[in-house]
Amino acid sequence: MKRLYLLGLAMPLLFASCLGDLPRLLRGDAELAGRVFPEDSPPIEALPEGSLAVLDHAPAGEVPWENLEGGVWVLFNKPVVPLARLQSPAASSAVMRLRPALAGVFRWYGSRLLAFEPQGTPAPATEYVVLLDLKLKAQDGSGLAGMDAFRFQTPALRLLSLEPSGTDVEPERCRTLELAFNYPVEADTIRPALSVKAGGRSFPFELRLQTEDRRVLLLDMKRELPWDAEVAVRLAAGARPTPGAYGTAEEQALGFRTLEPLRAENVELYAWLAPAEASIQFNHPLEPEGALAFVGLDLPGYRVEDNAEVSGSSIALRNLPVAFESSFAVTVRAGLRDLYGQSLPADQSFTVEAGPAPSYVRYRAEGDRILEKGFPPVVVAEFQNALSGAFGSPLGGGMRSITPSMTSITPSPVLALQRIASSASMPMMSSISSITRSGSAEGRSILLSTGTTCTPCSIAV
């Protein structure tokens, strides 16, 4: 009876003592009850005078998974082992141990610094606890006070990427989803944490690991995902790469959008020289048969069926009778179909602007040339909308180079055939015996027939 009475008095004290360590006990960390971690330790100045204490330690917090750089170490404020009896590196130590165990060696650097140098990589998503010997004493006999344990952990599991990704994803790319993680994972462990949802519904899948890389999971969808829908692949909070790892703190999700309705994106005009060409761009490859019947242009006399061609996700329009600095309209009518069987839901119209002709000057007689003596020298200059600029090329043989300037050539160009020489006494201008023009007002070629030889020559336009 007396024993039961004493036990009854002790129970409240025992219960109160356990409450302080309840979180650790709930995590299955009964071994850590009573341990003093850095966050709970008083400053070293507040410890009993003359105590053995930890001055510094590492690592702390989150550390890289594949490289525990610097290892694990503790620095004491007093010598713990005599220098004359420093131990050789060993696979275990009576002073410090890790939980869970990690392969490596313990090594003393002097009498106060003990380091653990891991061999291999730490476990993924794992919290490591470093425990010091509670009975550890310094060389002067003082016992350990204050901090006697600390933690560090490798990062939690993270969902890095999902393929396919983006928008307007084709159905054939949605049959198998590819997930990449920051760690190798075990399919059976992670399966309960994964889900695929689209349009408010869950979709079943078969899970398999990519054989060459266990960080990649393949989800083979058992049913086709709906078109034009947002798809979300979710990794639930608490997900673990392996059974012994700790779980994620919150849900993670990645997504994409499935095949969107057919639409015309834009019309691109290519107008280097007349006649111009254009291309109607769509978001999907088109069904070629009958597609041209759904295209119309407000260009009198232009027949789409004779001048257009379906090429993948575009329709090429050739031989457009379009003047520079003008515009025309392109209409794509509802009913045009893509290769997935979708029809354009409504008419789409585009106004296409043809700007001014591009500017260029092309000299066809630059550099070194050999002219037949029996024929008159001829030089050709081709240009289009050349309003200002410069042209030049290096001249050899002791000749000095020049850069002829171009003045306005609209409506009529100014041309001069120049003879360049190193001697100022030589004539600088040769005569032009004839000029022949060809081309439109925007683009023309000029054939120059010179009455004298010109060695070397340049043309200023």
Q: Kindly provide the residue ranges of all beta strands, DSSP E only, lying in 127-263, ordered along the sequence.
A: 127-132, 149-153, 159-163, 166-169, 176-181, 194-198, 201-202, 205-209, 216-221, 230-235, 252-258
Is 307 strand, coil or helix? helix
Whether this model's pTM surpasses 0.95: no
- Vertex 378 angle, CA 375 and 384, to 5°: 160
The residue among 313, 459, 278 whose CA lies nearest residue 386 is 459
| 213 pLDDT higher than 90 | no
Q: List, for residues 239-255, the tens digit of each pLDDT value.
A: 999 999 999 999 999 99
pLDDT of residue 246: 95
pLDDT for residue 9 is more than 80: no
**CA 377, 383, 389, 393 torsion: positive or negative?**
negative
- The pLDDT assigned to 324 comes to 85
Which strand (E) or helix (H) includes residue 19?
helix 2-20
Spans of all domains in the chain: 1-25, 35-153, 159-258, 264-354, 360-460
- Is residue 14's pLDDT more than 70? no
pLDDT at 265: 97
pLDDT higher than threshold 60 for residue 379: yes
CATH code linked to domain 159-258: 2.60.40.1220
Q: Assess whether pLDDT exceeds 90 at residue 228.
A: yes
pLDDT of residue 27: 47
Domains 159-258 and 264-354 share a fold: yes
> Is residue 1's pLDDT more than 60?
no
In terms of pLDDT, which residue wins out, 239 or 444?
A: 239
| Number of Cβ atoms within 10 Å of the Cβ of 70 | 11
- How far apart are alpha carbons 347 and 337 in whole angstroms? 13
Yes or no: say if 459 and 417 are a contact pair by the CB < 8 Å rule: yes
Burial grade of 409 (CB within 10 A; 0-12, 13-18, 19 or more):
buried
How high is the pLDDT of residue 162?
A: 98
pLDDT at 146 over 60: yes
Is the per-residue pLDDT at 331 higher than 50? yes
346-385 burial: b if 16+ Cβ within 10 Å, else e: eebeeebebeebeeebebebbeeeeeeeeeebebebbbbb
Q: What is the spatial distance between Cα 414 and Cα 236, in angstroms, rounded to a whole number?
A: 77
C-alpha R_g of the chain: 42
Mean pLDDT value of segment 409-422: 36
CATH topology of domain 264-354: Immunoglobulin-like (2.60.40)
- 176-180, 217-221, 384-388, 453-457: the lowest-pLDDT one: 453-457
**pLDDT reading at 293 higher than 60:** yes
Residue 25 DSSP SS3 = helix
Average pLDDT of span 305-319: 97
Amino acid at 36: V
For a pLDDT cut of 70, what percent of the chain falls above it?
74
Q: Sorting pLDDT into bands at 50, 70 and 90, what band is 30? A: confident
Residue 288 has pLDDT above 80, yes or no: yes
For residues 106-127, give the mean pLDDT: 93
Burial tier of 397 (Cβ tally within 10 Å: 0-12, 13-18, 19+): exposed
Spatial distance between the Cα atoms of 12 and 213, rounded to a whole number of angstroms: 55
Which residue bears the tokens 């090594």? Answer: 107
Lowest mean pLDDT among 60-74, 280-294, 310-324, 325-339: 60-74
Neighbours of 34 (CB within 10 A): 13
More confident residue, 396 or 30: 30
Task: Taking residues 277-292, report their average pLDDT.
Answer: 97
Model confidence over 165-207: pLDDT tens digits?
Answer: 999 999 999 999 999 999 999 999 999 999 999 999 999 999 9
pLDDT exceeds cutoff 90 at 340: yes
Domain over 35-153 is classified CATH 2.60.40.3710: yes
Average pLDDT, rounded, for the chain: 80
> Is 144:131 a contact under the CB 8 Å cutoff?
no
Q: Look up residue 317 and give its two tokens.
A: 């329009």
329-353 average pLDDT score:
97
pLDDT higher at 64 or 19: 64
pLDDT of residue 23: 40
- Ramachandran assignment for 364, one of left (phi > 0), alpha (psi -120 to 50 degrees), beta (any other): alpha
Backbone angles phi, psi at 3, to 5 degrees: -65, -40
Looking at residue 361, what is its pLDDT?
75
Report the Cα 448 to chain-centroid distance in Å: 56
The pLDDT of residue 7 is above 70: no
CA distances from 96 to 64, 134, 150, 450 (A): 22, 10, 11, 99
115 vs 70: CA distance, rounded Å: 9
* pLDDT band at 152; cut points 50, 70, 90: very high
- The strand pairing partners of 281, in sequence order, are 266, 314
The listed range with the strongest mean pLDDT (83-92, 176-185, 272-281) is 176-185
Q: What is the Cα–Cα distance from 233 to 186, expressed in whole angstroms?
A: 18
